[in-house]
Amino acid sequence: MPKMEIEREGNKKLDKPERKEDKSVLGHEGQKNIMKVENLSKTYYQGKIPVHALRCACITVRKGELLAIMGPSGSGKSTLLALIGTLEKATDGKVILDGTDLTTVPEKLLPSVRREKIGFIFQHYNLIPTLSALENVELSMRFSRIPKKEREERATALLEELGLGDRLSHKPSELSGGEQQRVSIARALANKPAVILADEPTGEVDSKTRDSIIRVFKELSEKGQTILVVTHDPEVAKECSRLLRITDGVIKDD
């Protein structure tokens, strides 16, 4: 695969590390450290009172890990995911993902970084209701300047690999909850991200659908995709390869 690049202003480029080509649509590499979180902290202020949402978090994540993050409401789970996903700025510390320190990337380049390095999966799917499953996945690649034919081919291949080959033209309202979540998984995979961040992806589905989504995550992990899952569900956590617990902004590795 040619070296991928994130566009800077003008003709300057921020190179992404080369990745090995693989025949599988979902990709695979030998295990290596794909992400390192170093002393990551986030402090908010309520008036003049500091609120420490995350305290000196240190995590090393290997490529292909399926990592669960658990903790009570307000413990810092979503803050951790938002900082890794560059949706919020850290007060201190670093997030090094796929060779790039995300905390040093200029604000104007962050959308490109998110698009190229990070896939997001949400509890509420966030699919566009007027678009088909294929169009929802294809849309996520438009801003990456991928030619239309290639976008459609990749979106089709991802949906087929996730068992939705006969649902390509269906709109979200014509899909079950589990099918909609699989469309959102395909969308998250479309730009070949270094990591997928899943925030309560099984929070609004029944146990059967939950189990099918976790099977998809495990299959993706076996193919080399790194996934971080925030969850309240111990049944989800026990199927993951590792569990982090957060209490009062402090991380413990089980």
- How high is the mean pLDDT of the chain? 87
- For residue 226, pLDDT over 90 is answered with yes
- Average of per-residue pLDDT across 23-27: 48
Structure tokens at 20: 């090995």
Please name the residues in contact with 87: beta carbons below 8 A apart, sequence gap of 6 or more: none
Rounded to an integer, the average pLDDT of 9-37 is 54
Question: What is the model's pTM?
Answer: 0.82
Least confident of 20-24, 82-86, 211-215, 219-223: 20-24
CA–CA distance, 133 with 160 (Å, rounded to integer): 11
* Per-residue pLDDT at 59: 94
Residues 72-76 have a mean pLDDT of: 89
Q: Is 177 exposed, middle or buried (0-12, 13-18, 19+ CB in 10 A)?
A: middle
Is pLDDT of 64 > 80? Answer: yes
pLDDT (mean) for 201-205: 84
Domains of the chain, each with CATH number or no CATH: 5-253 (3.40.50.300)
Q: Residue 26's pLDDT is what?
A: 53
CA distance 146 to 212: 30
CB 5 within 8 A of CB 16: yes
Q: Which of 170-174, 200-204, 236-240 has the lowest mean pLDDT?
A: 200-204
CA distance 229 to 1: 28
In this structure, the number of other CB atoms found within 10 A of the CB of residue 194 comes to: 21
Measured CA to CA, the distance from residue 146 to residue 143 in angstroms comes to 8
Give ∠ CA 85-87-90 in degrees, rounded to 5.
85
Residue 249 is predicted with a pLDDT of: 92
**pLDDT exceeds 90 at position 144:** no
- pLDDT of residue 121 exceeding 90, the answer is yes
CA distances to 22, 104, 114, 140, 154 from 143, in Å? 24, 22, 11, 7, 15
What pLDDT score does 254 carry?
A: 61
At residue 31, the pLDDT reads 63
- Structure confidence at residue 74 (pLDDT): 86
Indicate the range of 29-33, 109-113, 185-189, 248-252 predicted with least confidence: 29-33
Q: Residues for the chain: how many in total?
A: 254
Provide the β-strand partners of residue 68. Answer: 229, 243
Residue 73 has a pLDDT of 87
Q: Would you call 171 exposed, middle or buried from its count of C-beta atoms within 10 A (0-12, 13-18, 19+)? A: middle
Is 169's pLDDT higher than 90?
yes
